[in-house]
Amino acid sequence: MTPDLEVHLYIKHAVGSRMLFDVSGANKPFKLEQTGGGWTLTIHDVDPTTVELLRHNLRELNIFYFEEQAGHAAVKSWLYDKDCPAIEYDDARRCVIRGDTKMDYTNDSV
């Protein structure tokens, strides 16, 4: 990863765009990976209350991943599942969300 690259991850409610979890703002380590037929998002050190909030709103999750670098247009990705994303949580406080659709865009292409 480039040193001056900033990444942001936001999980919002599809109706009204209410912020459910500002992952980068909470300084939670995360990894986004392309997987067969979709994507997998792994977030570390997630408290159980946040996971319950995400599960309660599972069918209405909109996930936004941004990469920003000085002097370049921000590259943005919208992540969702056409039906319902899968969510897993373990004793290590790791939350894994899987979905099938990732759309990349910039402000110029919206």
40 beta partners: 33, 98
Percent of the chain with pLDDT over 70: 95
Count of helices and strands (H, E) across the chain? 1, 9
User: What are the boundaries of each domain within the chain?
Assistant: 5-109
pTM greater than the 0.85 cutoff? yes
pLDDT (0 to 100) of residue 109: 60
- In 10 A of CB 54, how many CB atoms? 21
Per residue in 33-73, pLDDT (tens digit) is: 999 889 999 999 999 999 999 999 999 999 999 999 888 88
Question: What dotted CATH number matches 5-109?
Answer: 2.30.110
Alpha carbons 51 and 74: distance in angstroms, whole number: 28
User: Which structure tokens are listed for 109?
Assistant: 């292409």
Identify the three-state secondary structure at position 18: coil
